Structure 1
Amino acid sequence: MYSAFEKQSQEKKELIMNIAIEEFTLNGYDTTSTDTITSRAGISKGILFHYFKSKKNLYLYLVNFCIDLLTEKTVTAIHALKSADFFERVKEIYLLKHEITGKFTKETQLIADAIMSPPVAVQKEMQQIIADYYDTYAKEFKFEHVYLKELIQIDKLRDDITVEQVIEMTMFISEQLGNKYQTLYKNNQYDFFKEPDPVVKELNDYLKIIKYGIYKEC
């Protein structure tokens, strides 16, 4: 569908995408003007629509691009982690995600807005994008790359605690914490990009509670 755009030079593609992402994150989908995008990018409106056919397609292309970009950066960084402690690894993964979003603020903003407050024009498509993402990065992926059971000190576990329970508990708390701050962000009560510390501290506090609650007393 986007073959005409993909044939362009990398420099030209990056220019158009960076400007479009900036406009969508700054103004929102409905009030973003393709005239402004084309004027800033130095191309005609006819060329933009030749590449994407519509404003809707441009937006969806950018959302998919940003998801793929941040996912690739995150997975690569996760594979480079060397922590031998289960809970330290979970915390390190959270921190590296924050580091990556800090480097790609506009891309992260676009994804966050598209997922939490999808424009009416693309709601159906966003539901499918989200479903496809979670199909790919569901529990199996997290068990293989994030919550590594081999890092749990099994010999030190309390007799009434299993490895599976530790993983499920940690995953549940991490996800609920993420949901909490997403809701606050959506309601304009919290800005993760400006105030990451509260999330980091709360996650660290919960991980300490789990860690020192599952192991036998020395």
Structure 2
Amino acid sequence: MNQTFQNLDYEKQNRIINAALQEFAENGFEKASTNRIVKTAKIGKGMLFYYFQNKEELFYYLINYSLNLANTKLLEQVDKKEPDFIERLKQIAQSKTEFHLNHPNVLNFLGNLFLTGTLEIPVHFKKRYQEMMNSRISLLYEGIDTNLFRKDIDTEKAFKLIKWSIDGYQNELIAHLKNQNLTMINYDTYWEEFYELLDILKTLYYKKEEEQE
């Protein structure tokens, strides 16, 4: 990659990255069109190949960019010391929702790239992706205080039901806010509804406060 790309202003750099992410996510490497990328990014084709020598170099740049961004925005912002499973899931859900809305093409790109298994990519990228997935599992369960849960329910099943509930609300929220002007949205109403959901989940699955002492 030409260093000039790193020196571009944020808006133009972001346009190129998002156009390329979308194209590769939707069409894969072989069918991805650099003509469509430059049209969406609103730049000349010659400029794209000035920044990147070829389509493969652009593709590898996007993998590295997406993995770095996902690690920073999805993993590092969650407090692993939080022992309450629902409270930790709240942090993860907020982080993931904001990530989806601000970087809509990154998770689609990574998911299509690594989960389909149809494209051969360098081993070190596969290793980094697996490490990220392992960190996500650790982020969910490591250090969780299972004593918060009622004694008459299966904790492992409760984990799944709680996660499904929160994932479902999060996916509904993302679908509702998709393509809206995010700078004009007041998120307080959505998060208030989300916190009400969490309170209901705690009532269903956790011991009463006096029983936790």
Larger RCO (alpha carbons 8 Å, 6+ apart): 2
Aligned-partner Cα distance in 1 for 2:137–2:75: 11
Rounded Cα–Cα distance in structure 2 between residues aligned with 1:155 and 1:36 = 53
What's the offset of the Cα at 1:57? 1.5
Aligned to 1:95: 93
Kindly report structure 1 stretches of 4+ aligned residues shifted beyond 6 Å.
153-156
2:126 corresponds to 1:130: yes
Q: CA deviation at 1:217?
A: 11
Whole-Å Cα distance in 1 between the matches of residues 148 and 35 of structure 2? 64
Taking the aligned partners of 1:94 and 1:85, their CA distance within structure 2 comes to 13
Contact 1:38-1:48 within 8 A present in 2 as well: yes
Tell me if the contact between 1:86 and 1:147 (Cα under 8 Å) persists in the aligned partners.
no
Following the alignment from structure 1 to structure 2, what is the Cα–Cα distance between the partners of residues 20 and 155?
A: 46
1:16 equivalent in alignment to 2:12: no
* Counterpart residue number, 2:145: 152
Where do residues 67-146 of structure 1 align in structure 2 (5 Å cutoff)? Answer: 67-79=67-79, 85-96=83-94, 97-118=96-117, 120=119, 123-125=120-122, 127-135=123-131, 138=134, 146=140
RMSD value, Cα: 4.4
- Distance (Å, rounded) in 2 between the aligned partners of 1:52 and 1:36: 16
| Structure 1 residue 30, shift from structure 2 partner | 2.4
Distance 2:77 2:125 in 1: 23
Provide the secondary structure at the position in 2 that maps to 1:124: coil
Q: Distance in 2 between matches of 1:93 and 1:130?
A: 27
Counterparts of 2:88 and 2:148, CA distance in 1: 20
Taking only the aligned residue pairs, the percentage that are identical comes to 22
Per-residue deviation, residues 98-123 of structure 1 (Å, max 9, x unmatched): 55334432211011001112553xx1
In structure 2, distance between residues paired with 1:85 and 1:31: 46
Deviation at 1:136, TM superposition (A): 6.5
Tell me if structure 1 keeps the 8 A contact 2:85–2:140: no
1:41-70 per-residue CA deviation (whole Å, 9 max, x = no partner) reads 343323212211111211221122122222
Q: How many residues align?
A: 176
Q: TM-score of the superposition, structure 2-length normalised?
A: 0.58
Q: Is the 8 A contact 1:16 1:41 kept in 2?
A: yes
CA gap 1:85/1:34 in 2 versus in 1, 3 angstroms: same
- Give the residue type in structure 2 aligned to 1:88: I
Please say which of residues 29-38 and 105-114 is displaced more in the overlay: 29-38
- Cα distance, 1:12 vs. partner? 1.9
Provide, for residues 114-147 of structure 1, a one-character-per-residue CA deviation record: whole Å limited to 9, x for no partner.
1112553xx132x4212024446746x865x554
CA displacement at 1:154 relative to structure 2: 6.9
Conserved? CA contact 2:78–2:88, under 8 Å: no
Contact 1:17 1:62 (8 Å CA) reproduced: yes
**Residues in 2 aligned to 1:27 and 1:153: alpha-carbon distance in whole angstroms:** 44
What is the identity, as a one-letter code, of the residue corresponding to 1:39?
K
Show structure 2 runs of 5+ residues with no match: 165-173, 176-200
